[in-house]
Structure 1
Amino acid sequence: MVALYGALFISAFLAATVLPVSSEAVLAGMIVSGCGDPALLLTVATIGNTLGSLVNWVLGRGIDGLRNRRWFPVTADRYEQACRTFRRFGEWTLLFAWLPVVGDALTLAAGAARVNLAVFVALVATGKAARYAVIVAGGLWATA
């Protein structure tokens, strides 16, 4: 059982990076198949995905020296779009860090903007927990 939670954690962590990993599919599959406690699955997925976003925040802190590297996880266009959005709406955009395409760029922009770590974690975790809660609820509803 621990291996299942570990697999979910790893998929959630990697999904917060640019790797093509779908933690939502892993979580939904676990819920539908009855593997694990739904509340614990929600918690593990949220923690893993939030920690993955924290990696992006750290990269954002040193973005000036990294942006032109081939392995850098966000294209210049996506990063500039995220920076414009971040400047326009501020820290509250981090509630949407779970969104495909722009979510990674928002967490990078937050690091570059030197957003307070506690504020970053609180907002990112809240948004990601809400997204995973919808997935858990949908999986439980589908199996009811």
Structure 2
Amino acid sequence: MFDIEVGYIGLFITCFLAATVLPVASELFLIGMLAAKYDPILCLIVASTGNTLGGWLNYAIGYLGNPKWLIKVGATTEKIEKWQIKVNKYGAWLALLSWLPFVGDIIGIALGFFRANIFVSFLFIGIGKFVRYGVIVLFALYC
């Protein structure tokens, strides 16, 4: 199966990449490690940390972003305005939803782009990711 060191490093990298716009199924990797009897607490910590750092990268990409770049990658003015309204209305609270597939990446980028509170955003990104992987670990162990 996996070598212990490669397993945890692989989990970290997989979860980090899953938090970006890359289509990576970190849940399957995590469940595979749990099935191989890796330490569930350590898996939770590694997965949450990797995914949280990836979420923070999304915030940074948004923060450093330029409206012209968004247009070049297919974002319309209407979509940009829609996200600005959401960020203005909910602020960093949106970061709690950054664990969601597909839209979570956009949430992180939008929070950075529209300058939501960085400290609260980072905290809520971390909480959301930890809860997500906590639920997966519990499900894999007890269902």
CA distance in structure 1 between the aligned counterparts of 2:65 and 2:141, rounded to whole angstroms: 41
Task: Identify the match of residue 18 of structure 1 among 17, 21, 28.
Answer: 21
- For the 8 Å contact 1:83–1:106, the answer to whether it is kept is no
> Structure 1 length as normaliser, TM-score?
0.85
Deviates more, 1:133-142 or 1:80-89: 80-89
1:51 aligns with 2:50: no
What corresponds to 1:105 in structure 2?
106
What corresponds to 1:84 in structure 2?
85
List 4+ stretches of structure 1 deviating above 6 A.
Answer: none
In the TM superposition, what are the counterparts of 1:56-71 in structure 2 within 5 Å?
A: 56-64=58-66, 66-70=69-73
> Structure 2 length as normaliser, TM-score?
0.86
What corresponds to 1:132 in structure 2?
133
Offset at residue 82 of structure 1 (A): 3.7
* TM-aligned CA distance change 1:33 to 1:120, over 3 Å: same
CA distance in structure 2 between the aligned counterparts of 1:140 and 1:134, rounded to whole angstroms: 10
- For the 8 Å contact 1:82–1:102, the answer to whether it is kept is no
Q: Which ranges of structure 2 fall in alignment gaps of 5 or more residues?
A: none
What corresponds to 1:94 in structure 2?
95
Q: Which ranges of structure 1 fall in alignment gaps of 5 or more residues?
A: none
The amino acid of 1:60's aligned partner reads G
CA distance in structure 2 between the aligned counterparts of 1:84 and 1:32, rounded to whole angstroms: 43
Give 3-state SS (helix, strand or coil) of 1:95's partner: helix
Offset at residue 79 of structure 1 (A): 5.2
- For the 8 Å contact 2:11–2:29, the answer to whether it is kept is yes
- Number of equivalences: 137
What corresponds to 1:41 in structure 2?
43
Identity percentage over the alignment? 40
